[in-house]
Every structure is written in C-alpha cells, then in structure tokens.
Amino acid sequence: MPLFLDVHTIDGGVSAADVAGAHQADLETQDSYGVDYLRYWVDEEAGKVFCLVEAPDAAAAAAVHREAHGLVAQEIYPVVEGS
C-alpha cells in the first residue's frame, strides 16, 4: 500500500498530549477508510506535526483526519521507505 507523510502546522504551537489524543482518534477511525496511521512526530514549539500513514491514496488519509478530529494536514507527500 502507498506510504504518505503529512504535515500539519498549528499556529501558536501544539502540545504532545493533544496530538496523542488526535492520533488515538485517527486509530479509532482509520479502518473504515482502509488506512493505517503508523507513527507521528511533534515539534511542540513550532506547532508542527508529521504523520506517517499507509493509505490507498492521499484523499483517504485526509478523510480519516477530517472525520476523527477535523485537523486536516496542510501538506501530504507520497514517500518511499529507505533502508
């Protein structure tokens, strides 16, 4: 399945605890879209969140975020895992 990295930018910063809650909501929503959110990283001060996701396409990955918590990424990139 294709792999994507999405990037969220949240003005004013973001807490790791809030991101953990949003990620949990993604996990609870993802199956109905055939998506698997694998990992995420947070830069609290910069308000950046990066999500690694296996999905049929970028639209399916975005749909999970939209339904789960409404925080759709501003950018999403197809990526290939390196060794």
The pLDDT mean for the chain works out to 96
Q: Is the pLDDT of residue 19 over 90?
A: yes
Number of domains in the chain: 1
Q: Which domain holds residue 9?
A: 3-79
**pLDDT of amino acid 82:** 87
Summarize the confidence of residues 9-24 as an average pLDDT. Answer: 96
Crossing angle, helix 16-29 and helix 58-68, to 10 degrees? 110
- Given a contact cutoff of 8 angstroms between Cβ atoms, the answer to whether 29 and 67 are in contact is yes
Q: What is the CATH number of the domain that holds 71?
A: 3.30.70.3090
**pLDDT of amino acid 71:** 92
